[in-house]
Amino acid sequence: MNRIILSIFLLAIFASCKKTTNMKISVPTTGKLTCQLVDESGKAIPGVNVNLHDLFGGLKSDPVVIDKKVTNQNGLVDFGELNPATYYITADSPKVNNVAYIVKDYIQVRAGDKSQKTIKVTDYSGTISFTFASYYTDKPAKNIGILLIPFSKFTSQPISVMSKVAEFKGTTSSTGELSFRIPSDKSYMVLAYNLATERIYEYYMNFSVNTNENKSLYYGLPIW
């Protein structure tokens, strides 16, 4: 009798071990990625092309685009299943207050994770501070009109034309100073003019700022 009980016990152990041996464990090998573009208030930005770049071998001067999506009404793009890796994301000139921004960022995808990155496009900006003074006396150039025009849109035209394509406008203070928060990695031309007569005093070669950079520039004007 004891032998029968022992045999049944051994068979149960054997069956249990056999089931454990045959278990299959599924390990995720991919991850998911979604991105959302929003403005400074968190409002979605639809209709923007978002590119996903492969960084295999490091960031190249012209990273390979492996997928391209357009943001929907909620500002979202879904790149679906991706291999675990660090990717590079660019967006095609999303606009806030009619100013186009240049979005460039990295995002990491991990196996088994669903990564969602919310991109506030106005975060990709820096501060430019100007000081204007007289060529001749070094006195501050106060009450001077200033236009910041994207380099790609600059032409030698009257103020009435240039002001329509300028993305930023302002007037110098009593100390000849003013500053703007502008998109990073974007080239601008600076145009200085007389507010009353719209005579153009000078325009200056293009400049740009890096994200979160505070840049200061000094320019002389042909005024007394």
Residue 68 lies in a domain: yes
Q: Looking at the predicted structure, is the pLDDT value of residue 23 above 60? A: no
What's residue 169's pLDDT? 97
Indicate if 165 and 216 belong to the same structural domain: yes
Residue 43, C-beta contacts closer than 8 angstroms, at least 6 positions apart: none
How far, in Å, CA of 121 to CA of 210, rounded? 14
Residue 30, C-beta contacts closer than 8 angstroms, at least 6 positions apart: 81, 82, 83, 84, 111
Helix/strand/coil (H/E/C) assignment for every residue in 193-222:
EECCCCCEEEEEEEECCCCCCEEEEEEEEC
Indicate if 104 and 145 belong to the same structural domain: no
Last residue of one domain, picked from the residues 123, 153, 176:
123
- What is each CA distance from 149 to 141, 168, 185, 204, 221, in whole angstroms? 20, 7, 14, 11, 18
Contact between 120 and 144 (Cβ < 8 Å): no
Indicate if 96 and 59 belong to the same structural domain: yes
How far, in Å, CA of 74 to CA of 152, rounded? 30
Supply the CATH number for residue 188's domain. Answer: 2.60.40.10
Q: List pLDDT tens digits, range 130-168.
A: 999 999 999 999 999 999 999 999 988 999 999 999 999
Token pair for residue 105? 């960022």
74: confidence class by pLDDT, cuts 50, 70, 90:
very high
Global pTM exceeds 0.95: no
Residue 3 lies in a domain: no
13-27, 52-66, 123-137, 191-205 — most confident range: 123-137
- Residues of the chain with pLDDT > 90, as a percent, come to 67
- What is each CA distance from 56 to 29, 86, 103, in whole angstroms? 18, 9, 20
Indicate if 93 and 140 belong to the same structural domain: no
Indicate if 172 and 106 belong to the same structural domain: no
Q: List pLDDT tens digits, range 170-203.
A: 999 999 999 999 999 999 999 999 999 999 998 8
Last residue of one domain, picked from the residues 79, 107, 123:
123
What's residue 4's pLDDT? 54
Q: Looking at the predicted structure, is the pLDDT value of residue 24 above 90? A: no
Residue 18 lies in a domain: no
Residues of the domain holding 106: 31-123
Indicate if 85 and 132 belong to the same structural domain: no
Residue 14 lies in a domain: no
Query: Which DSSP symbol is given to 65?
Result: E
Indicate if 119 and 129 belong to the same structural domain: no
Indicate if 109 and 195 belong to the same structural domain: no
Residue 8 lies in a domain: no
Indicate if 134 and 112 belong to the same structural domain: no
